[in-house]
Amino acid sequence: MTRGVSMVKAMIIVLLCVSFLWVVPEECAGKADFSRNSSSSSSASHPLLKRPSSVNVGALFTYDSFIGRAAKPAFKAAMDDVNADQTVLKGTKLNIVFQDSNCSGFIGTMGALQLMETQVVAAIGPQSSTIAHMISYVANELHVPLLSFAATDPTLSSLQYPYFLRTTQNDHFQMQAVADFVSYSGWRQVIAIFVDDECGRNGVLVLGDALAKKRARISHKAAITPGADATSIKDLLVSVNLMASRVYVVHVNPDSGLNVFSVAKSLGMMGSGYVWIATDWLPTVLDSMGAVDAETMDVLQGVVAFRHYTAESDAKRRFMERWRNLRPKEGLNSYALYAYDSVWLIARALDVFFGDNNRVTFSNDPNLHKMKSSSLRLSELSVFNEGERFLEIILGMNHIGLTGPIRFDSERNRVNPAYEVLNIEGTGPRRVGYWSNHSGLSVVPPETLYSKPPNTSTANQRLYGIIWPGEVTKPPRGWVFPNNGKPLKIAVPNRVSYKDYVSKDKNPPGVRGYCIDVFEAAIELLPYPVPRNYILYGDGKKNPSYDNLINEVVADNFDVAVGDITIVTNRTRFVDFTQPFIESGLVVVAPVKEAKSSPWSFLKPFTIEMWAVTGAFFLFVGAIVWILEHRFNHEFRGPPRRQLITIFWFSFSTMFFSHRENTVSSLGRLVLIIWLFVVLIINSSYTASLTSILTVQQLTSRIEGIDSLITSNEPIGVQDGTFARNYLVNELNISPHRIVPLRDEEHYLSALQLGPKAGGVAAIVDELPYIEVLLTNSNCKYRTVGQEFTRTGWGFAFQRDSPLAVDMSTAILQLSEEGELEKIHRKWLNYKHECSMQIQNSETSQLSLKSFWGLFLICGITCFIALTVFFWRVFWQYQRLLPDTGDEERASEVTEASRSGRGLRAPSFKELVKIVDKREAEIKEILKQKSSSKLKSSQSGAGSSHSQHSEIP
């Protein structure tokens, strides 16, 4: 210790001397091939301080371990490479002070203190997350950056350890990769086997959170004591083998992890149906062993493992060739690469640190100075004064190492975390894909996807085929029925009504009914036996509360509830339901009576809108026909009063096809043919609807549906124990005082018969399957009114995340596709209703405009086309008649208009009306005379011209 104090004093004297020496600034001879986020260079106005001759960097790890045996030669190789490269530290020698933590938290902490006495500017390590938690406090106090190449505990990235920085990957990402793989394979439950230390516990905690996001969970956490022997591991594996899940995630230490698989092999747990997923510790072991013996590989067949992914590069290949010369009998694991890169990261950061005109100084910690009286002599530990600045430089570094880009995000994690997915088969591991937080599971190397947008969707996940334990290529189901001698505890409601659905039975299995038969048929389709016991729930005096029954399943008093259990939202939050095996929904049942005949029944076939549009079209078509026939047909001419009567008479007489006026124009006949076709369809529809209204028995009820029931203040009956009461109160805001619980069908019928004034109910709200039974026995006195106002179904309720629920849903779908559900339904619920369940609302049977708008559209388009042709013809005739008002005057106007560029005088509306009102025969006669007069004038003009030419000599 005295020697250490002397060295400290000597170093302080040297630093004081150096601080007064200034040298002329020089331009660097060469620049390294790396960059920082913000490059720093010495200012021309400030001379550079002389760099120290050497700097110390600590290295703390366990020598005798898979990681340590690979890390130590990697550290030495990196130190030699840094000191041999004069472009990095430029004359400053990098010294690595090694310290063995001996895989002990106490010894590791003491070793860290001894390192700090050597005034290191940074410490690399430790490899143990447990030791990292302890010595991070030392690093915080002394401001020495602590770079771990192997501690993967996610909690080490917290703000509690500002001077801790890992150069390897955070287990937070590895557990996300495991969760993605579990979700990709379709499993819902896993068992975590882990070493009970900080790394194991915290890693499994993160795994549970990652699985929860994938709707999966850790069903059991099996903790192994650090350094546990084979007997302890065997006892643990025997206990987990009795559980349902067959998916095991093994997160242990590399030095003792193989014992887990050896014991599992001896217990027969490495065969078909089992799934073993190992974290990066297993590839570390296999890579470190170099040539793996056949016995070890036989134990690991079918295991899936995750290994740190480092992209291939020339530098990595050269280092691997070099490694074969350094360690010919040992393999190279990923932690050796991270150790090598950690040394280079510190070296490059020191180069930037010195280039920014910083110097290395230490001072006494006042907190430790007060402890001089202690025999530990902690006061000799020094604080790195520039440690905070040096840490900022390290965090800002950005260069390429053997493990890929070395850059840190805002949470001080390495960017672009990625893993290889390995499948142990044959003589070694086989890569079946990759995982990265950029693209999830993929068969493409991650670096090729970084240029594309992130895509971790389920559809984008892909891996190559995996050989599972037992040489199985199909992914295992991942669970079996628990082999612990406990049969499935099935709760069955002990109903007192509607016993065809489910009820108590004297014969085994003690229950019977439609729901029981469906459940038993589904169980028979499962590829594995399911021992089960049916337990009645309820006192048998009234129907039990189904919400309480669900709560019993949630409380683990029952494994599953089987019966007429409705799938509603608040229940799905706590249990998992199977696929519905019968449709259901709430309906309203009320007393009905025969509707009295009305003297206005003839108006019921059409809605008001239909009557209005039909009447309007009768008048419209009559007017169109009058316009088209007025010039041709003398029956559509005469005084205005007579013509108006003709329009009305012709319009409505077409309803009965009794119009006496004949149509003579082509356009009029076209319109009339289309209109008579429309009238034929309207008459036929009206006749059919009116016949149905007058001949079919019409029933009516005071209650029209759930809306009218809500607005009234009358009592409402519900079945005791069902969710109907809560739905009416909580969702529809009906007062609880209006709700009357009813015990069975007899109470239903008597309450409806009494009515609200005599102590009964105005209506009953219940599920459709029950109402079908009720109405069968009601002699058609009661019917459902309104529409079904909820859409639900019945299912079997399992405990949350039970894998049996998924298999049962598949079995129920198979029963439905094969028609077995329908057979079971006919066996128990084959009711023949002699009367319709629901009364028909007269308004719903009325014919509306939407059923006929296509006909009216065709008729309207025909009328429009006919009018367009008619008026075009009239305008053409008018243009031909214009010169009749005076040829010379009209000719002069035409000549003058042509010379000035003006158009002809616009036609007079009064003249146009006169043309329209004239008979077609008169118009044709005028045009004929006009044509003959033009012909005579042209002939006379030609004769006079000929005589003039003949007189010329």
Q: What is the pLDDT of residue 660?
A: 61
The percent of residues above 70 in pLDDT, for the chain, comes to: 80
Higher-confidence residue: 108 or 890? 108
Number of domains, the chain: 5
Parallel, antiparallel or unpaired: strands 739-742 and 716-719: parallel
Confidence at residue 32, expressed as pLDDT on a 0 to 100 scale: 32
Signed CA dihedral, 193, 197, 201, 204: sign only = negative
Let me know whether 820 and 729 are in one domain. Answer: yes
Residue 857 lies in a domain: no
Q: Provide the pLDDT for residue 843.
A: 52
Asked if residue 290 and residue 186 are part of one domain, the reply reads yes
User: Among 806, 834, 862, which residue terminates a domain?
Assistant: 834
Q: What is the pLDDT of residues 820-857, one digit of tens each?
A: 999 999 999 876 555 655 555 545 567 888 888 888 88
- DSSP E strands in 753-857: the ranges are 763-767, 782-785, 792-794, 797-799
| Higher pLDDT among residues 596 and 58, named by residue | 58
| Residue 885 covered by a domain | no
Residue 939, domain member (yes or no): no
In the predicted model, what is the mean pLDDT of residues 877-884?
Answer: 64
Q: In angstroms, rounded to a whole number, what is the distance separating the alpha carbons of residues 661 and 646?
A: 9
Query: Which tops the pLDDT comparison, 30 or 570?
Result: 570
Give per-residue pLDDT as tens, 297-322: 999 999 999 999 999 999 999 999 99
- One domain for residues 175 and 137: no
Residues 486-521: tens digit of each pLDDT? 788 999 999 999 999 999 999 989 999 999 999 999
Q: 614 and 517, same structural domain?
A: no
Instruction: Tell whether 329 and 304 lie within a shared domain.
Output: no
Looking at the structure, do residues 364 and 513 belong to the same domain, yes or no? no
Domain match, 797 and 772 both: yes
Confidence label for 607 from pLDDT (cuts 50, 70 and 90): confident
Domain boundary among 816, 834, 852: 834
SS3 65: coil
CA dihedral 430, 433, 436, 439 (to 10 degrees): 180
Find out whether 335 and 149 touch, Cβ atoms under 8 Å.
yes
- The pLDDT value recorded for residue 35 is 35
Give the least confident one: 93-102, 128-137, 935-944: 935-944
* Choice among 296-310, 458-472, 622-636, 830-844 with the minimum mean pLDDT: 830-844
Q: Is the pLDDT of residue 456 over 60?
A: yes
Residues 6+ apart with CB under 8 A from 742: 717, 718, 719, 720, 748, 751, 761, 764
Judge whether 98 lies within some domain. yes
Are 863 and 855 in contact, with CB atoms under 8 Å apart? no
| Structural contact between residues 543 and 721, judged by C-beta atoms closer than 8 angstroms | yes
- 784, 813, 834 — which closes off a domain? 834
Are residues 705 and 816 located together in one domain of the fold?
yes
At residue 712 the predicted structure's pLDDT band, cuts being 50, 70 and 90, is confident
| Closest to 815 measured CA to CA, from 570, 523, 584 | 523
Would you place residue 904 in the very low, low, confident or very high pLDDT band (cuts 50, 70, 90)? very low
Confidence of residue 474 (pLDDT cuts 50, 70, 90): very high
Predicted pLDDT of residue 22: 27
Dist CA 805 CA 577 (whole Å): 7
Q: How far apart are CA 89 and CA 350, in angstroms?
A: 7
Percent of the chain with pLDDT over 90: 46
Same domain, 79 and 111: yes
Task: Label residue 43 by pLDDT band (50, 70, 90).
Answer: very low
Is a pLDDT exceeding 50 seen at residue 27?
A: no
Mean pLDDT value across the chain: 82
What is the rounded average pLDDT of the residues 407-419? 93
In a domain, 690, yes or no: yes
Average pLDDT over residues 70-95: 93
**What integer pLDDT is reported at residue 38 of this predicted model?**
34
3-state secondary structure 678-737: HHHHHHHHHHHHHHHHHHCCCEECCCCCHHHHHHCCCCEEEECCCCHHHHHHHHCCCCHH
Torsions phi, psi of 279, nearest 5?
Answer: -80, -170
**Residue 905: inside a domain:** no
How many CA atoms lie within 13 Å of 338's alpha carbon, on the beta-carbon side? 26
> Looking up tokens 């991270």, which residue turns up?
338
CA distance 706 to 785: 8
Q: What's the average model confidence in pLDDT over 774-782?
A: 78
User: What pLDDT shows up at residue 42?
Assistant: 35
283 plus 330 within the same structural domain:
no
User: Is residue 11 in some structural domain?
Assistant: no
| Residue 831 φ then ψ, to 5° | -95, 135
Can you give the pLDDT at residue 907? 54
Q: Is residue 943 part of a domain?
A: no
Domain of residue 102, residue span? 54-168+314-406
- 65-74, 182-191, 344-353, 475-484: least confident range: 475-484
The domain that holds 360 is classified in CATH as 3.40.50.2300
**Residues β-bridged to residue 479:** 245
Task: Report which of residues 890 and 617 the model is more confident about.
Answer: 617
pTM of the predicted protein model:
0.68
Task: Note the pLDDT of residue 596.
Answer: 56
Asked whether 382 and 8 are in contact (CB, 8 A), the reply is: yes
Phi and psi at residue 124, in whole multiples of 5°? Answer: -105, 125
For 316, the 3-state DSSP assignment is helix
Residue-wise pLDDT for 209-257, tens only, equals: 999 999 899 999 999 998 899 999 999 999 999 888 999 999 999 988 8
> What whole-number distance in Å separates Cα of residue 556 and Cα of residue 547?
15
Structure tokens at 681: 């369809």
For residues 374 and 138, the model is more confident at 138
Paired tokens of 932: 């003959």
Mean pLDDT, residues 446-470: 92
Of 146-155, 335-344, 424-433, 853-862, the range with the lowest mean pLDDT is: 853-862
Claim to verify: residue 331 and residue 302 sit in the same structural domain: no
The residue among 903 and 111 whose pLDDT is bigger is: 111
Instruction: Pick 484 or 37 by higher pLDDT.
Output: 484
- The bridge status of strand 797-799 relative to strand 575-577 is antiparallel
**In which band, very low, low, confident or very high, does the pLDDT at 104 lie, cut at 50, 70 and 90?**
confident
Instruction: Say if residue 631 is in the same domain as residue 508.
Output: no
Mean pLDDT of 104-112: 78
The pLDDT, as a whole number, for residue 887 is: 47
Q: CATH number of the domain at 769, please.
A: 3.40.190.10
Across 749-796, the runs of DSSP E, i.e. the strands, are 763-767, 782-785, 792-794
Per-position DSSP letters for 604-662, written without gaps between them: TTB-HHHHHHHHHHHHHHHHHHHHHHTTT-GGG-SSHHHHHHHHHHHHHHGGGT---PP
Lowest mean pLDDT among 204-208, 348-352, 690-694: 690-694
